[in-house]
Every structure is written in C-alpha cells, then in structure tokens.
Amino acid sequence: MGATLRPPCAGAGSAREPLVDDLVEVITAGTPADVGAHPVPESYAGAVVLADEVGLFDGVPVPERDPRRSLHLREVETPEPGPGEALVAVMSAAVNYNTVWSAVFAPLDTFGFLRRYARRGGFAARHDRPYHVLGSDLAGVVLRVGPGVGRWQPGDRVVAHCLSVELESPDGHGDTMLDPEQRIWGYETNFGGLAHLALVKSNQLMPKPGHLSWEEAAASGLVNSTAYRQLVSRNGAQIKQGDNVLIWGAAGGLGSYAVQLTRNAGAVPICVVSSPRKAELIRAMGAELVIDRSAEGFEFWRDGAPDPKEWRRFGARIRELTGGEDPDVVFEHPGRDTFGASVYVARRGGTIVTCASTTGFEHHFDNRYLWMHLKRIVGSHFANYREAWEANRLIAKGMIHPTLSVAYPLADVGAAVQAVHRNRHTGKVGVLCLAPSEGLGVTDPELRARHEKAINHFRAA
C-alpha cells in the first residue's frame, strides 16, 4: 500500500466525496446488509501529524506549541482489515490528552512507536507511514471485518476502546494491560479515530450505548475506562462507601468520570478545580467538597521546587471540608506540580493512584510521609479488556454519563486539540467525523429521556 497524502478533496463540513456521502446515507437509512454491500472508499480523510514535520516546534516551549500548526486533515489510503481486525466508519471521535502530546511532539514524536510496531512484520508493518492518523476514541459503524472475526458484522453500531494487544505472551493473559505488546490505539498505532474511517482490532469493539448520540457515545471510552481501573478495579484503589477521594482536575476529562464513579461507589469526592465556573459545574453534579486551587492561590511547585508549606495548607483545607479527615485515595494525574501534595495529604495507609504526569514526569515528594504512614503509590494505565467493557456497560446502563461539553467538526480538529492543550475546556471535547450534525444516532429514546439532563450537564457549562 503506497502512501497518498493529499489534502482531502473537501474537508468535513463542506461538500465531501460522493462515496463518503453515500456511506453516511447508507449508515443512517440503510440496513446492515446495505452497509456490508457498500464499497469501501479507497482513501479517507484523517487528522494526521507528518513525519517530516517532527522538528516543527524545535526550540518552542511545550505550552506554546500550537496543535493547529501540526495537525492536518489529509486523504490517506484505506488499510485492508487483517485477521482479527475491523474497519469502522467513524461517526464521531473525541480529543484525548494523548492527541495533545502527539500534536506537540512531546515528550517525543509518535513515529518511533509506529516504527517499533512495524518491526513485528506482517500486518503490523502497515502502521509505519510518513503520517500518523491520531485519535483513541470513536463511535461508528463496522464497515468490514477481517478473517477470523465472528462477533462483529458490517452494520454493527459500536464504540472502540483503545487497548491494542497481541496476547501472544502469557504475561498479558491475566490482565491484558500487562501484555508486553500493549499499545494505545491511535497514539502508539496508526489509523486512529480522528478520521472518517479507522482500523481497530475487533477485540476493541463494544456495543454503542443506544441512548447516546454519536458524539456523546464517542466521548467516554478512554477516560472513563482509565478512571474505572484507577478507582474501582482491584487493579486500582478499589474504593468503597464512605472513602474520601481527592480528585485533581475534577471538571476535566478523567476527573469528570472519577467524580461520577466515586459518587456511584458511595464514596465522597473532594474535587479540585481552577475556576468558579468549574466549581459550579461540579457542585451541580452533586459534589459538595470543592477546592478552587486558583481562587485559593495554591501553588505547590514554585521556582523549580515543591513547596511543603503549600502541602500543609492544602491538607488543612481538606480537613476543614471533611470535618478533620484525610483522603483515603488520591486520584493523581497532574504529576510534578501536585504529586508531593498528593503523597502528603493521603491518610495513613491511604493510596495515591496515578496514571499521568501532565505537568512533568519527575516527581518530588517527601518519602517520610509515604513509608512512616504506610501509604502506597499505585501506577495505573488505561484499562484491560474486561475493565474497559465494564466501564462501557456503566455508560450503556445510564449509570455514568458522558461529560461532552462541545463538539468540533473534523476540519477544526486543530482548534479542538488546542482548547484541551490550553486547559480552556471542561469535560470532554468531541469531534464530528462522518456525522453530518450533532444529536444523531440515538436508538433508545426512552433511556435517554430518563437521563437527558445529566447527559447534557457539561453542554450547558
């Protein structure tokens, strides 16, 4: 398969290729058999970064790098689904922070991942391209399946989680996240969801929740599954009723699901945000204990070092809110700026569960507070197959709701990613791919009616 890299004949949002428009028509009005009979376009539009642009931001500090310069909508060749794979017509996708990392080429460009994957040979070799189609969430319709796929057929309405594993090593047989060939689809593999078509392993597919529109259904997969493993799973903190759970970034992608999972467990979220608007949004979800870190002037990292005085002030503030109690669990992801405070404020025997380091990978904490108070730090990454399925089941039953705040057309994907990079968003930022407008794809209006307000909660923000 050669690499064509021309701009799409037309971007999403303007007149598109006839085949693509036909496809949308067939998905919207046709039967599954019609979808299976519809010809697969030879190429499709995808949001890509380019291998020959990885030096684009050299010398530019990461916070100042603008994804609108590095993300391009390009026409790329459609890959044939290999054994155990599926080609999906993507109705909608979502921005994740990994798309920010890819688009600003930090901490490294993602082409090294693709080259390494391709070295496996066979079908994996297709992933090494001079372009990387990004995106680790989707909601859409199965267009074709490869050999050996039995559960899924053309026409099935699906969402995809982002765990790509080979499962050839016993290391991953108990917990698929421990597979040595574990990759995040659309970040460490090619052909991601921010596109008109996407290639996934069929094991990534899960039923699309019928009460949600395409863009709502695409919003949750990555962050909801990650928060589920961190907080609920036995691989994470296994929160229980009454636990105090400190949640950084409670109105952000991960945090907005962590708040819901904590409340569902009968535990008590202690929510940290950075504006009155976010504080209000979280309070309106039922969280009573909220700290606005900006309004209260918390600065845990100053002049290149942590500030233990701020940890103590923060711990005192938490006790003021809880009536003297410390967090049983800290939901960590900001990293360098907050980690010292997280270790300090966790209660004796408490757990700090971390999945990221947005503000810096090298963490500084005072180890005396860890060992003498018998705390533990748990590393967590996405979710295994089973956890991702269980997390999606909660969405499908209306027990966890998408926190979509806005949806951009695919043509504006750079602006969508920039909003997340600049921390201007709340909840999740969606991207309409083949979906011609918002609000389409609902097949269970009754369940939707029961949860309409909660589904729209972040929209009103």
Judged by the rule CB under 6 A, the positions of this chain that interact with ligand NAP are 96-98, 222-223, 226, 248-249, 251-255, 272-274, 278, 293, 333-334, 337-338, 355-356, 358-359, 381-382, 420, 423
* Distance in Å, CB of 248 to ligand NAP, minimum: 5
Q: Closest approach of Cβ 296 to ligand NAP, in Å?
A: 11
- Is the previous residue joined to 8 through a cis bond, with omega within 30 degrees of 0? no
Is the CB of 28 or the CB of 359 nearer to ligand NAP?
359
What span, in angstroms and rounded, lies between the C-alpha atoms of 425 and 347?
31
We find the least distance from the C-beta atom of residue 338 to ligand NAP, in angstroms, to be 5
Nearer to ligand NAP, 43 or 274 (CB): 274
Answer whether the bond into residue 61 is a cis peptide, omega within 30°: no
Q: Least distance in Å: CB of 308 to ligand NAP?
A: 16
Q: What is the DSSP string of 124-150?
A: GGGG--SEEE--S-EEEEEEEE-TT--
Tell me, rounded to whole angstroms, the distance of Cα 223 from its chain centroid: 4
Residue 143 or 417: the one with the smaller Cβ distance to ligand NAP is 417
Q: How far is CA 89 from the centre of its chain?
A: 19
Residue 128: CB minimum distance to ligand NAP, A: 23
* Pairing, β 85-94 against β 428-432: antiparallel
Contact 200, 89 (CB under 8 A): no
Handedness of CA 175, 181, 184, 185 (dihedral sign): negative
The least distance separating ligand NAP from the CB of residue 263, rounded to whole angstroms, comes to 17
CA distance 223 to 247: 14
Distance CA 108, CA 196 (A): 26
| Spatial contact of 247 and 271, defined as CB atoms under 8 Å apart | yes
Q: Closest separation between CB of residue 297 and ligand NAP, Å?
A: 13
- Position closest to ligand NAP via CB: 252
Reference 88, options 212, 217, 203, 196; nearest CA is 196
User: In this complex, which beta carbon is closest to ligand NAP, that of residue 69 or of residue 381?
Assistant: 381
Residue (8 or 255) nearer to ligand NAP, CB: 255
Strands (E) located in 8-59? 43-50
Residue 430, token pair as written in the block: 């969606």
Q: Which is nearer to ligand NAP, 38 or 425 (CB)?
A: 425
Calculate the alpha carbon distances from 144 to 18, 88, 98, 198, 283 in Å: 19, 7, 27, 11, 44
Q: At closest approach, how far in Å is the CB of 61 from ligand NAP?
A: 15
Q: Between residues 255 and 441, which has the closer beta carbon with respect to ligand NAP?
A: 255
The residue (of 114 and 420) whose beta carbon lies closer to ligand NAP is 420
Question: Which residue has 């994907």 as its token pair?
Answer: 413
